[in-house]
Amino acid sequence: MGLQLWYLPSRYEKSSSIIASQIPVSQWHGTIGDDSIADAVLDRLVSSSHKIEMEGESMISKKKLDN
């Protein structure tokens, strides 16, 4: 986690970053396992972000069903 905590602030208001996850943000604390680290990561990601949540079946699952 250390690299990410340094890397994201160094890009703040200079560059864009795209973060993709299959885990909903509401489950990050439980997944990361340490509330302090989860809070630090979320603070850096959410402060000036645009969040897009996709819904529905994934294309990979759909392709498997078609074959």
Q: How far is CA 25 from CA 12, 28, 30, 52, in A?
A: 20, 5, 10, 11
**Residue 3: predicted pLDDT:** 47
Closest by Cα among 2, 38, 3 to 21: 38
Contacts for 45-53: CB closer than 8 Å, 24+ residues apart? 45/8, 45/19, 47/12, 48/12, 48/13, 51/25, 53/24
Residue 6 has pLDDT above 70, yes or no: no
**Residue 9: predicted pLDDT:** 67
For 17-59, how does the pLDDT look when each residue is reduced to its tens digit (9 = 90+)? 787 888 888 888 898 888 888 888 788 777 777 888 878 777 7
**Residue 67: predicted pLDDT:** 63
Closest by Cα among 17, 2, 21, 22 to 47: 17
Q: What's the predicted TM-score (pTM) here? A: 0.52
